[in-house]
Structure 1
């Protein structure tokens, strides 16, 4: 019994480490992929491929029954996919053409703060300390935005990433309040496929052109990393954690991912880390940490493997995987 508990704790920390590093590194992966792949098309390729792989694995393990869902559940997952991936992730990729990966990650870290604002708007009164954390965090967002963050940032990139973060927050908020497929992996498959198709259509509508001959080997590596490691390994680790660890622990990814992204951007891409970015980012992370620490919830009931069909309230502690 004691050995099983020890093994479980070890697995929790391994999975948490994966989410910390993998999701923090996807900002770097996006930046490398969009060097020679149009941002919307790179997202379309990533999420359609990841959705097909995840869907095929689910069917192989559990058969087509895993995708039994009502029309309302399918529409719910499709809407969430458009908000999270087409607009949320798509705008992030566009923004990373203008601002550093570290600054983008710090601004995306504001998503938990927007979720609290939405709760307040529907008269779900958060705790006083939670509101204090929101004010502190949004103050950091304002500081980074108004000062331009310093270094290689631009006003356009900051505005775009903030709109993307807002779309992600709306999608996360709605996902716990509308009908969704009961199996979280099936729901995510629908989200990735619909979100990927949405990115393809949006990219075409905005005039993106894909020339496979112009894509560098470096961008291909970045894209494959995003598909296999970012979307599949990172996501499955996150969902496993929801069922096996307190949400207060799992949610710490929200302020660890930006730190990983800033470090990798500086080490791999030689991005400048200015005092303004450090101070503004620290203020944001303090606000997010305060929100998470005062909004503790018990662990969510999720199956320990892909054979389960447990229901996951995807809007609660949902990861903003970039």
Structure 2
């Protein structure tokens, strides 16, 4: 698989995740949050596992350990988001969770010694400014919920970075499926401990099916496979399109209209993504040295 195809697959996944906010509103209106997360990811695990069951028979213990690590990270992401949204505004939460785009290249450089191309750094800057314009309303004050949303962004960034590393040593498809089961299992255990379980309403089932199939079964499995053929920094940048698609679906289905700065922010995010993804022509090392000598 080429890097361009992998990036395209990640973009499709991001569209699904942008639409997920519509379905989350439907589900959380009648279900407790951890139970909702558990149903979503367990459904995704059983569907993906049924389709690719032959790959799961051949997994080793290392892949299972890696899957529980990634599943734990996914659980923390969604747990922190749920807690954070309760005590902060949705605009703050949207911006702070989208700080993932900043943490991904930072963690890649700090922990895995990956160099950052100037083009990617500029893209990160443009998308960060764009996300701020798109989601912030008024001044920024730090609340307890804001801290939880920042923790969610940190966990999400680590999930992206660690996924990129673990797929080098494990079956990426099996890893992507098993992490769904791990996240669903952890969420269900937490739900049994702290929540009262209720039967999903018809609208909640629609949300569970949409989130479980499109956003989780397809989304996280495709993410895990595609990241094997692209960089963590590029993956993080593409995922920053999520609030843009969320705003688009909000306009189409809920009649939500963005202010002028919101549309400017969406445009900046798109420009940042496109700029970072533009092909770069690199000189071979030998030609670079000869060019430097001639210039000197």
Does the pair score TM above 0.5? yes
Q: Distance in 1 between matches of 2:114 and 2:69?
A: 23
Residue 219 of structure 1 is matched in structure 2 by 204
Q: Distance in 1 between matches of 2:230 and 2:114?
A: 25
Which of 161, 174, 178 aligns to 1:190? It is 178
Report if the CA contact (8 A) 1:242-1:250 is conserved: yes
Equivalent residue of 2:52, what SS? helix
Greater percentage in helix: 2
Equivalent residue of 2:165, what SS? coil
Q: Structure 1 unaligned segments of length 5 or more: list them.
A: 1-10, 297-322
> Could you tell me how far 1:163 is from its partner in structure 2?
2.0
Identify the range of structure 1 (43-52 vs 136-145) with the bigger mean alpha-carbon deviation: 136-145
Which of 122, 131, 150 aligns to 1:132? It is 122
Residue 228 of structure 1 is matched in structure 2 by 213
Report if the CA contact (8 A) 1:113-1:137 is conserved: no
Residue 289 of structure 2 is matched in structure 1 by none
Distance 1:104 1:170, change over 3 A: same
Equivalent residue of 1:182, what SS? coil
Residue 287 of structure 2 is matched in structure 1 by none
Q: Distance in 1 between matches of 2:13 and 2:168?
A: 24
- After superposition, the C-alpha distances for 1:26-81 in whole angstroms (9 at most, x for unaligned) are 1221222112211222111111121122223222xx27533x213x3321221111
* TM-score normalised by L of structure 1: 0.66
Residue 115 of structure 1 is matched in structure 2 by 104
> Could you tell me how far 1:287 is from its partner in structure 2?
4.3
Which of 75, 79, 84 aligns to 1:90? It is 79
* TM-score normalised by L of structure 2: 0.71
Describe how 1:42-191 pairs up with structure 2 within 5 A: 42-59=36-53, 62=54, 65-66=57-58, 68-70=59-61, 72-83=62-73, 85-95=74-84, 99-100=89-90, 107-122=96-111, 123-139=113-129, 148-150=136-138, 155=143, 158-178=146-166, 182-191=170-179
Residue 304 of structure 1 is matched in structure 2 by none
Rg larger for: 2
Describe how 1:163-312 pairs up with structure 2 within 5 A: 163-178=151-166, 182-204=170-192, 207-212=194-199, 215-235=200-220, 253-271=238-256, 273-275=258-260, 277-280=262-265, 282-284=267-269, 286-293=271-278
Residue 33 of structure 2 is matched in structure 1 by 39
> Could you tell me how far 1:14 is from its partner in structure 2?
9.9
Report if the CA contact (8 A) 2:126-2:272 is conserved: yes
Supply the RMSD in Å over aligned alpha carbons.
Answer: 4.2
